[in-house]
Amino acid sequence: MRIRLTLIAVLALSIAPIFPPAALAADRFALVIGNAKYPDADAPLKEPINDSRDIADELKRDGFTVDVGENLTGDGMRKAFERLYGHIKPGSVALIFFSGFGVQSNRQSYMIPVDAQIWTEPDVRRDGFSLEAVLSEINNRGAGVKIALIDASRRNPWERRFRSFSAGLAPVVAPNGTLVMYSAALSSVIPDSGGDRSLFVQELLKEIRVPDLMAEETLNRTRVGVTRASRSEQVPWISSSLAEDFSFIPGARPPGPMATNTQPQIPDIPPPPPPPPLPKAETPILPPPDKPAQNPPSNDGPPTPPPQPQQPSINDDPTIKKLTERLADNPDDAGALYRRGQVYASKGAYSLAIKDFDASIRLNPKDVEAYNNRCWTRTVIGDLQSALRDCNEALRLRPNFVDALDSRGLVNLKSGQAKNAIADFDAALRINPRLTSSLYGRGLAKQRNGAVAEGELDIANAKAMDPNIVKEFAGYGVR
């Protein structure tokens, strides 16, 4: 149910005039690396390849020119960084995503290629790539906004070879205009989840897909999401020196300077409210019968009726207007259709959302995210057979897609297919044991299937993780 979190979050945004033209015009370049097959490791890492592909797909949607590398050797990483450097122009946005093994040495963090020969700590500095050095070179090439997303806080296979070592990654000393996020706290490591995608990337993608969020807010929300989902066992680290606004999905935030904060304190943001019900026409507000009208009759003619409230058109929403203008220039812009569908659904305009998802899927019949989002939207409005077909197609295209399993579980729950719902929620929880919506949904399904005590336990655990989960499901029409 990925759209569920994405859409709910859109509701909390304050949308204002258009995004600064300079930020829209800036060239966006990204280098995405997923390294999984390290000969010194006991087995290939399960998460980096899938995570890097998902991140690359999302960044392409967001207007980035993306270079993707998988299982890169030292020479391959060097060439990839050189290609990135060569693209950068003054004022460009440059982003690095790295998933694999990272090692800190001499108070710097190093991204490790798959063919690194590491026996002593100096070998890290010889074969690894310093994050600080990479960011410095990107800055020297003139990039205005520099972003590094590093999912490398894993226990590495070389630490036992060092006489002394520091686990995890080190704080980065980066040039101004840089935003850095690690998947875990400084000098800490997180265990392999056993799934095919990391919790960090799952939460990051949910927030990147929310239109109009500033990048710092996107990462702050990701940090809160990971912390909450892991019950504080994993707490990502953020460092920012951004001096200008930047949004992954440019929308309708006003320009303005940002305060420099080398390590922002992120508050415990409560989960956003559930999505709205289908919009209803407003009832005109008339004066009470026992009070005189605001405009009393006169000798000049009949009384003037009191003004009636005007219901604003959803198409006046600034984000929707911007996306509609973009589609007027290019009706085949699948990314704009997908985004507008998300915003329509967040506003309760489900039929318009489905039309946009339909068009997006016609342009890209393999868009698993659009299938999942349309599945969720159809589930909310009760078109359960069509929703089931969408979820099945998403899972055919991407087996074990946790969000589609979660969505299909909701379809089955609303359809009265409790056993099928339990099976889907079980499968989702095997991939992500902290997926609160699947835990709560499974609890409801177990109760309906007669396992009342087991269901109550799931529901209690889900409510302990997210006290708003009951209201969230009520918004889907499930109690």
Per-residue pLDDT tens listing for the chain (479 residues):
545 444 434 333 333 333 333 334 369 999 999 999 998 888 899 999 999 999 999 999 899 999 999 999 999 999 999 999 999 999 999 999 999 999 988 888 999 999 998 888 788 889 999 999 999 999 999 999 999 999 999 888 877 666 455 578 989 888 899 999 999 999 888 876 667 889 999 999 999 988 778 999 999 999 999 998 888 889 999 999 998 889 998 653 333 333 333 333 333 434 444 444 433 333 333 333 333 334 444 444 444 444 444 445 777 777 788 889 889 999 998 888 887 887 888 778 889 999 999 999 999 998 888 899 899 899 999 999 999 999 999 999 988 888 899 999 999 999 999 999 999 999 988 877 777 889 999 999 999 999 999 999 999 988 887 777 888 888 888 88
Chain centroid to Cα 188, Å, comes to 23
Given a contact cutoff of 8 angstroms between Cβ atoms, the answer to whether 31 and 69 are in contact is yes
- DSSP code per residue over 371-401: HHHHHHHHHHHT-HHHHHHHHHHHHHHSTT-
Give the residue carrying structure tokens 């906004």.
Answer: 145
- Phi, psi (degrees; rounded to nearest 5) at 80: -65, -45
pTM of the predicted structure, to 2 decimals: 0.55
Given a contact cutoff of 8 angstroms between Cβ atoms, the answer to whether 370 and 396 are in contact is no
- pLDDT (0 to 100) of residue 160: 65
- pLDDT (0 to 100) of residue 1: 54
Strands 28-34 and 93-99: parallel
Give the residue carrying structure tokens 């009265």.
Answer: 416
Query: What's the length of the chain?
Result: 479
- For residue 250, CA distances in Å to 215, 352, 459 come to 10, 21, 38
Given a contact cutoff of 8 angstroms between Cβ atoms, the answer to whether 268 and 226 are in contact is no
How many Å apart are CA 204 and CA 214, to the nearest integer?
13
Beta strands in 190-266 (DSSP E): 237-240
- Joined together, the tokens standing for residue 87 give 């693209």
Given a contact cutoff of 8 angstroms between Cβ atoms, the answer to whether 424 and 442 are in contact is no
- Joined together, the tokens standing for residue 328 give 């007027």
Domains of the chain in start order, with CATH, are 2-240 (3.40.50.1460), 316-475 (1.25.40.10)
How many Å apart are CA 18 and CA 254, to the nearest integer?
6
How many Å apart are CA 238 and CA 152, to the nearest integer?
14
- Joined together, the tokens standing for residue 203 give 């939460």
Give the number of other CB atoms < 10 A from CB of residue 184: 24
346 Cβ contact list (under 8 Å, min separation 6)? 6, 7, 8, 10, 11, 275
94: helix, coil or strand?
strand
